[in-house]
Amino acid sequence: MKAIKETQFKFNHQTGFYSGKVRDVYFFGDKMAMVATDRISAFDVILPQAIPDKGRVLNQIAADNLEATKDLVPNWVLSTPDPNVTVGFKCETFPVEMVIRGYLAGHAWREYRAGKRMLCGVPLPEGLKENDKLPHPLITPTTKAKVGHDEDISREEILSRGLVIESEYVQLEDYTRALFARGTALAEKRGLILVDTKYEFGKHNGTIYLIDEIHTPDSSRYFYQEGYEKRQANGEPQKQLSKEFVRQWLIENGFQGKEGQQIPEMTDEIVTSISDRYKELYQQMTGKKLDPINYDSLLDRIEKSIVNSIN
């Protein structure tokens, strides 16, 4: 199986290039073309093997969800000319990620299990179990690190450090709650529970825009609705569609992105299983199977789609 690990295009009128954890971004003045590669990251570390079809799965799910929420929040997208490509405004990014949680899972559960009852300045009630529904969705922001790990941060710290002015931060919180409510409703129609997710925002010509991808398995965690209550009552693990299974596999093999730890070997079997999980989420969320593609001509197709969109 082939995968897109990187792109190295050179375009006329290109004004910049940035290679992120999983996306390659080409800048053209106040516009940008974002290529969703098949790279995968966990614990803020890029893993050594790319995952076939992951990029187009994420990009297409994000495109659907950005279209389905643009009545709530203006977003950065101008067009999606290719399954792996999104073209939109270049925005000045806010240096925080707006994480919102409806259930006690993942990082929040690990902190809770360790005895913490305050997460990002938000109190958590006693007596919760892993994957319990929270009394109400909680916003638990993180810093947006250019290098290294994102870190939990409270609303008070964001304001005191001047990372975001108060009036704009209030707007970010309002947008976050509205988007989470819409994402929850969209997931419910597909038999899923939106457990937690993150949103990123930026400014373009003075307007706040929703940027990056939303409601994908890289930015969100989903449980299956069917059997949730029974599994929870019996203390069983929830059946979920998210990148958490990748994190759990890494944790079980002694890796959490900490200094001195080595990434475990990603065998062909592991890579295939991760790819299959991404395809499963695509089908569950869209109701469609992922079409096969010719990977031999994929880079040419991506390059042409950007040229035609920018010119």
Domains of the chain: 93-245 (3.30.470.20)
State mean pLDDT over 24-45: 94
Residue 10's pLDDT band (boundaries 50, 70, 90)? very high
- In this prediction, residue 285 carries a pLDDT of 85
Residue 1's pLDDT band (boundaries 50, 70, 90)? low
Nearest C-alpha neighbor of 56 from the set 279, 300, 296, 310: 279
Residue 281's pLDDT band (boundaries 50, 70, 90)? confident
Nearest C-alpha neighbor of 194 from the set 137, 233, 142, 153: 137
State mean pLDDT over 169-184: 98
| Mean of pLDDT over the chain | 92
How far apart CA 174 and CA 170 sit, in angstroms, is 6
pLDDT reading at 272 higher than 60: yes
Residue 5 token pair: 């690990």
Average the pLDDT over each of 18-32, 61-75, 170-184, 243-257 and give the range with the smallest value.
Answer: 243-257
**DSSP character for 216?**
S
Sequence-separated contacts (24+) of 266-270 with Cβ below 8 Å = 266/47, 266/48, 266/49, 270/49
